[in-house]
Amino acid sequence: MSQSRILGDWGTTRLRLWLIQNGSVVDSRAGPGIGHLGGTPREALEAAIAPWIADNPAARIVLCGMVGARNGLHEVPYVACPLDAVRWRGGAADLVVDGLPVRIAAGAAWRHEDARVDVMRGEETQIFGAMRLDPPLARGRNIVLLPGTHSKWVTLDAGCLTEIRTFLTGEVFALLQGSSLLAAGPERHAGAASDGFSSGLARGRDTNGLLGALFETRTAQLCDGKGADWAHEFLSGLLLGSELTEVDRSGHLPIEVTIIGGGDLARRYARALSARNVKARLLDGDACARAGLDLLDVDG
HSE toward the beta carbon, residue 271, CA cutoff 13 A: 19
3-state SS string for 74-93: CCCCCEECCECHHHHHHCCE
Q: H/E element holding 232?
A: helix 228-249
Q: Which of 99, 249, 263, 299 binds its own copies (CB under 8 A)?
A: 249
Q: Is 137 helix (H, G, I), strand (E, B) or coil?
A: helix
By CB under 8 A, which span of 18-26, 98-106, 239-247, 272-280 interacts with its own copies?
239-247
208: burial class by Cβ within 10 Å (0-12, 13-18, 19+)?
exposed
| 8-67 binders of its own copies (CB under 8 A) | 12, 35
For position 225 contacting its own copies by CB under 8 A, the verdict is no
In angstroms, what is the minimal distance from the CB of 211 to its own copies?
A: 4
For position 181 contacting its own copies by CB under 8 A, the verdict is yes
Q: Is 279 helix (H, G, I), strand (E, B) or coil?
A: strand
CB neighbours of residue 24 within 10 Å: 8
By CB under 8 A, which span of 15-23, 133-141, 177-185, 190-198 interacts with its own copies?
177-185
Whose Cβ is closer to its own copies: residue 124's or residue 297's? 124
For position 137 contacting its own copies by CB under 8 A, the verdict is no
For position 161 contacting its own copies by CB under 8 A, the verdict is no
Amino acid at 236: S
By CB under 8 A, which span of 227-235, 241-249, 264-272, 280-288 interacts with its own copies?
241-249
Residue 104 contacts residue 297 (beta carbons within 8 Å): no
For position 220 contacting its own copies by CB under 8 A, the verdict is yes
Whose Cβ is closer to its own copies: residue 243's or residue 286's? 243
In angstroms, what is the minimal distance from the CB of 18 to its own copies?
A: 26
Q: Which of 5, 89, 165, 268 binds its own copies (CB under 8 A)?
A: 165
Whose Cβ is closer to its own copies: residue 24's or residue 208's? 208
By CB under 8 A, which span of 23-31, 221-229, 261-269, 285-293 interacts with its own copies?
221-229
- 294 CB-near residues (< 8 Å, 6+ apart): 5, 7, 20, 62, 129, 132
Strands 108-111 and 117-120, by their bridges, are antiparallel
By CB under 8 A, which span of 39-47, 87-95, 244-252, 287-295 interacts with its own copies?
244-252
In angstroms, what is the minimal distance from the CB of 102 to its own copies?
A: 23
Residue 234 contacts residue 220 (beta carbons within 8 Å): yes
In angstroms, rounded to a whole number, what is the distance separating the alpha carbons of residues 222 and 185? 7
- DSSP codes of every residue in 157-215: ETTEEEEEEEE-HHHHHHHHTTSGGG---S---TTHHHHHHHHHHHHHHH-S-HHHHTT
For position 233 contacting its own copies by CB under 8 A, the verdict is no
In angstroms, what is the minimal distance from the CB of 157 to its own copies?
A: 20
Whose Cβ is closer to its own copies: residue 132's or residue 252's? 252
209: burial class by Cβ within 10 Å (0-12, 13-18, 19+)?
exposed
Q: Which residues contact its own copies (rule: CB under 8 A)?
A: 12, 35, 70, 78, 109, 116-119, 149-150, 165-169, 171-172, 175-176, 178-181, 208-212, 214-216, 219-220, 222-224, 239, 242-243, 245-247, 249-250
